[in-house]
Amino acid sequence: MSIAINKEKCVGCKKCFSVCPGSLIQEDENGKAYVKYPKDCWGCCSCVKECKVKAISLYLGADIGGRGSQMTVETKKDNVNHKQIMHWEITESDKTVHAIDINPKSSNQY
Ligand code: SF4
Ligand code: SF4
């Protein structure tokens, strides 16, 4: 499985259901999200970016040097310029956190 869903954080908004290209995320008996077909998840990150409460994290496996760390992302305003940024956080298995801030308007420009 490529993602983990923290059910304590999940507020049952269902936004991740519709963005998953494989329709892999569904609602459990308590109205929370769960991955019904975890083996089919290819780690596209759409659900991770869509979840506004950071309930979904992406596993960074050993094959990409992640050693079991988990990655989350949130969109927010930076403290200096008050421009919208994507704030990525990688939490290693020893709880060390690395943060990366990206301006989505200046990224992906070719
Ligand atoms: S987007 Fe996040 S809060 Fe909404 S249902 Fe999915 S996991 Fe829960
Ligand atoms: S990472 Fe992509 S494929 Fe996997 S559950 Fe999330 S949206 Fe679906």
Q: Give per-residue pLDDT as tens, 30-64.
A: 999 999 989 999 999 999 999 999 999 999 887 77
| Distance of alpha carbon 78 from alpha carbon 65, whole angstroms | 28
The pLDDT value recorded for residue 93 is 87
E-assigned strands of the chain?
3-5, 25-27, 33-35, 56-60, 69-77, 84-91, 97-102
Instruction: Write out pLDDT tens, residues 74-110.
Output: 988 888 888 889 999 999 989 999 999 988 777 666 6
51 Cβ closer than 6 Å to some ligand 2 atom: no
- Whose alpha carbon is nearest atom 6 of ligand 2? 47
- Whose alpha carbon is nearest atom 3 of ligand 2? 41
35 Cβ closer than 6 Å to some ligand 1 atom: no
CB count within 10 Å of CB 62 equals: 8
Amino acid of residue 70 = Q
CATH T-level topology, domain 3-102:
Alpha-Beta Plaits (3.30.70)
pLDDT above 90: residue 28: yes
The pLDDT value recorded for residue 15 is 97
